[in-house]
Every structure is written in structure tokens, then in C-alpha cells.
Amino acid sequence: MAILSCSVQLAAWPKEFLSRMQALLKEEFPEFLSCLEQPYFRGLRWNPLKAPGEPLWDRLPFPVQPSPFSPLGFYFSSGEKRVGRLALHHAGAFYLQEPSASSAVTVLDPQPGERVLDLCAAPGGKSTQIAALLGGKGVIWSNEVVKKRAGILLSNIERMGVANGVVSSCHPETLCSGLAGYFDKVLVDAPCSGEGMFRKEEQARNDWSVEHVQACAARQAVILDSAAQAVREGGVLVYSTCTFSPEENEETVSQFLERHPAYCLEDCAVDFGRPGRLPQTRRIFPMDGGEGHFVAKLRRTAPNEASPPMHVPSRQRKDAQMESLARAMAAEIFKREPTAEIQQVGDAFVLLPEGLPSLQGLGVLRAGILLGEGKPARVEPAHHLFSAARPESLRQVWDLPSGSPEIEAYLRGEEIDIPPSYRGYVGVAADGVMVGFGKAVQGRLKNRYPKGLRNLP
């Protein structure tokens, strides 16, 4: 089929990209072309960490359909607007994620109790999916080398109620050599030429060139070489991209295997998508129900020569007075004292997950839950404390219907009326899912929803 015959809309697509796709897909190319003229797939992933039990579908203003890529993944209509403004989205009951993007974590298959590294993690779609599958047990270490993007990652980790996470912004080589052999599972969702994002992002289309594809492949090889160090013997390394080019997918994997005899390629063992050019790998095209993804599963079969980093008990000198203020603050908010150890890091107090190695020199922005920040003569509770809390663990929660005027006002950052029986720090929930908090004073709730998260009026 001649590319020249494609529609005006397709004329805006890079011609060389289309001829490469024609060579890749052969007789399926016309179907691919007709997909390109359709609206892109939209999806969400339900978050059992924040909203356990049956998903609250009746509280969403649109219907959803299950996706094949994850039991937690669903499609919704391309016409829906302002989904990110919904109270249940603010509450982290769901994460907006292109449906096929959930495929890599399904292949990774994290199990409760495992240590998992997501090396290229921002904005956090796959990290928060891993956290949901760990169910609060084990560690999800999310790293993003680009500092600005690491801030967005951290915000999503908070919103989705992750308590057993570490968020860092570190160069992959520094991080993986510092944590050599520490992880059961490592995900490299690599920066790529983004061909699977072309329907959605015009910019990605405009930036495309063969040179860019080659530069991405070279960068992916370097990232994978770093990642290889972090996996323990018998552990799994999953490599994924949202692009179609063989140079960034099967060729990157084959060359990695040549450089790293300690690894072998395993079957992805899933039934979505289709086998890639290496039959154990998986490819997803728009014809398979997603925008586009590639996944490969590698296992380290030989010992990791590096000894894993040791757990280092905190030797931080504690400020006894501040610590007792932090405990008093926690006692005011929680029904029971938190079981995790409260640790002081500078002026901040955190609830650390168990068994972490030394975090020194690894660009760590957050470990565990940020409980609060020390101020003169008090500790101010942090948003993360409430977003990661179970409502039943808190002394006071104001649970509002997700579409109510009160929750809408709260999400805009407004001060609102609250029954006068509430006093002091109060968690705010939407349909039973924690959103944030405020301070109740004489029938008014002073708003503490972080400014950067608020809905614009």
C-alpha cells in the first residue's frame, strides 16, 4: 500500500516513520494506518492502596471497560474532559494511564515483600502500579534523573498513598552501583522516541527522526548496563518502551544479552499483544488495543559479584524535644501510635519502611511517609501523612460525597464550614478515600490542601 495515498491528517506524519512501519508490519500496515486516524485510547488504573474493595464506578461520571493489560486497568471514552479534576482522582483512587502502559508491570509481576526499583520512573504510572501490587509490603524505589520530573513523581507517589516508597533523583549509574544486588526486580521503562505516543502528542511526532531513534538506542544501552548491577542473582529486569522501532526494542535487548551473559531472556508469559521479533518479548500496537508498548523480561541467572548494601540503622542525632512534639502531633491525629519508627531527617519527621540500606549520596527526596515538619515549638503535619493514611486509622475524618459542593470547594483551596464537633487536624475524604486535611477551628475548616494540587476556579 502506498503511503502517498494516506489522508490529509496522515500527511502530517513523518514519511520515513510510516515507511519503516510499513516494513515492520507488512500486510497489517493498512490497519495500522486506519488506526492512526482514530482517537487515541484513554485509560485509568484503579488503586486498591487508596480504595480497597470494589471500585467506585458508580461515583465516576463515565462508564469504563476492562483493559487486557492489567486487572487494574480500564478504558474510558476519548471524549471525557477534566477527568483529572474529579475528587476521586485527587484522592488517588485512580491514576490516568494509557492502557498499554500498564503491560510492563504486569510482566514484572511484583509480589508483596519484594524490593523493586523503577529506574526511569516519572511521572509515576508504573511505580504507583508496582506499589499497588506490593500492597504496602516490601519497597518500591522510584528514581527519576530529571529533577523537575522527580517532583511530579513524588507528588503522584503521595497522591496514590504509597507508604513503602523511596523517591530519588539520581544518575542511574550512581544509584545502581550504590545499590548493587539489592533488588529482586528492576524496571527500566526507558526514555525512547515515543512512536507509540504519536496519536496523542504532536510534539513527539515533530521531534521524530532516524537519528533520534539511534540516539535513544545508545542511551537505552547505557541505562540498561547500569540497571544490570542492581538485580540480585535470580532477580528480574524488565525493559520496556513506548516505541515501535526495532533498534530501541529487540536490538537493544539482543545487544544487552551479548554484553551481559549473566542474563537470559524469559518469555513474558502474557496473552495480550503479540510476540515481538524476539518471540519471548511482547509488542503492543494500536490494533492490539493500546497506543504502543514493547516489553522484554530478563533474568539474572549468575551471581551478582557486588555485595548488596547493608541495612544501616539510623544513627542520626535526634532532637529530643522536637521528637516528643512529633509524637504528640501523631497522637493527636492517629487513633494508635504508628508501628513504623518515626525518624528525624533535618527538620522533617518520616515513617521509614523497614530494611532500607543507607540512603546517603543517592539523591533521595523521600523515604517512607513524610509525617511532618518541625516549626518553632510544634510539628506541622504533612499532606503525605493524610494521603497515605487509612481513614479508619485517624481520629477525625470528614468524609464528603465525591461530587458535593464542599469537596469541590476544598479542592479549590477554599476555607469551608465544618460541623463544630470537629476540632484541630481533620482528614478530608471523598467517598471514603483520603484526599488531604485541614484544621477545624470553631466550625470552619482551614484548608491545608497543597497549593500546587488545587483545582483552578
Nearer to ligand SAM, 120 or 330 (CB): 120
| Joined grid coordinates for residue 33 | 494506518
Q: Which of 296, 98, 50 is nearest to 204 (CA)?
A: 98
| Joined grid coordinates for residue 205 | 511526532
Interaction between residue 395 and ligand SAM (CB under 6 A): no
Interaction between residue 72 and ligand SAM (CB under 6 A): no
Q: Tell me, yes or no, if 35 is annotated catalytic.
A: no
User: Least distance in Å: CB of 110 to ligand SAM?
Assistant: 14
Span 201-230, contacts to ligand SAM by CB under 6 A = 219, 223
What does each C-alpha distance from 128 to 108, 141, 186, 199 come to in angstroms?
13, 11, 14, 25
Of the residues 6, 170, 192, 242, which is catalytic? Answer: 242
Residues facing 96 on adjacent strands? 44
Cβ contacts of residue 245 below 8 Å, gap of 6+?
20, 193, 195, 213, 217
Binding test (CB under 6 A) with ligand SAM, winner from 34, 149, 309, 414: 149
Question: Left if phi > 0, otherwise alpha if psi is -120 to 50, otherwise beta: which for 334?
Answer: beta
Which amino acid is residue 423, in one-letter code? R
Interaction between residue 363 and ligand SAM (CB under 6 A): no
Q: Measured between alpha carbons, how far is 219 from 192 in angstroms, rounded to an integer?
A: 9
Interaction between residue 146 and ligand SAM (CB under 6 A): yes
Binding test (CB under 6 A) with ligand SAM, winner from 126, 199, 232, 283: 126
User: Least distance in Å: CB of 74 to ligand SAM?
Assistant: 17
Using the rule CB under 6 A, give the single segment among 144-152, 343-351, 428-436, 449-457 that binds ligand SAM.
144-152
Interaction between residue 159 and ligand SAM (CB under 6 A): no
Nearer to ligand SAM, 247 or 431 (CB): 247
Nearer to ligand SAM, 123 or 372 (CB): 123
Using the rule CB under 6 A, give the single segment among 118-126, 281-289, 344-352, 358-366 that binds ligand SAM.
118-126
Using the rule CB under 6 A, give the single segment among 122-130, 293-301, 312-320, 336-344 that binds ligand SAM.
122-130
Which amino acid is residue 455, in one-letter code? N
Residues in contact with ligand SAM, total (CB under 6 A)?
17
Query: Cell numbers 476521586 correspond to what residue?
Result: 88
Binding test (CB under 6 A) with ligand SAM, winner from 98, 114, 184, 189: 189
3-state SS, residue 334: strand
Is residue 151 packed enough to be buried (19+ CB in 10 Å), middle (13-18) or exposed (0-12)?
middle
Q: Which of 98, 146, 162, 158 is nearest to 125 (CA)?
A: 98
Interaction between residue 120 and ligand SAM (CB under 6 A): yes
Asked whether 100 and 171 are in contact (CB, 8 A), the reply is no
Q: Angle formed by the axes of helices 250-259 and 210-230, to 10°? A: 40
User: Least distance in Å: CB of 256 to ligand SAM?
Assistant: 15
Q: Which residues bind ligand SAM (CB under 6 A)?
A: 101, 120-126, 144-146, 149, 172, 189, 191, 219, 223
Active site residues per annotation: 242
